[in-house]
Amino acid sequence: MADSLILEIADFEQDVLTGIYSEETGKPQPLRFTISVRLKPADHYAPDTPLTASKNYMDLKFAASEGLPAGVHFKLIEAVADHVCETLFVQDERIESVTVKIVKLALSENGELIGMTLTRDRR
């Protein structure tokens, strides 16, 4: 079995224009993102291994914040997740797969987590 390296940012919150109902359109909704990327790891990580041997975690956060197009309304959160995946694949050819979990915080009535998870392998 081959080694793999999973980098993750969990429970990052960002307001995004999304939704299909009239009360959702035209205003940003709070979404909670957990994003994981699978990279082929280096053969070894020594104490002085440079960042270039891995990936900057902040790139994952960027894909779900500044990487989303300003002013674009995503009807489905699946479309938001798709955009995050494609942004990360374009950023770094070493990424083998991306998993994006999105929770729609505005839908929660009793603390439940309502959302979806998309896993996409590089094509």
Q: What is the pLDDT of residues 59-91, one digit of tens each?
A: 999 999 999 999 999 999 999 999 999 999 999
Domain residue spans in the chain?
A: 5-41+54-121
Nearest-CA neighbor of 80 among 103, 57, 97, 49? 103
Q: Is the pTM of this model over 0.95?
A: no
More confident residue, 2 or 119: 119
CATH fold for domain 5-41+54-121: GTP Cyclohydrolase I, domain 2 (3.30.1130)
Reference 67, options 94, 98, 42, 38; nearest CA is 98
For 13-38, how does the pLDDT look when each residue is reduced to its tens digit (9 = 90+)?
Answer: 999 999 888 777 888 999 999 999 99
Question: How much is the pLDDT for 100?
Answer: 98
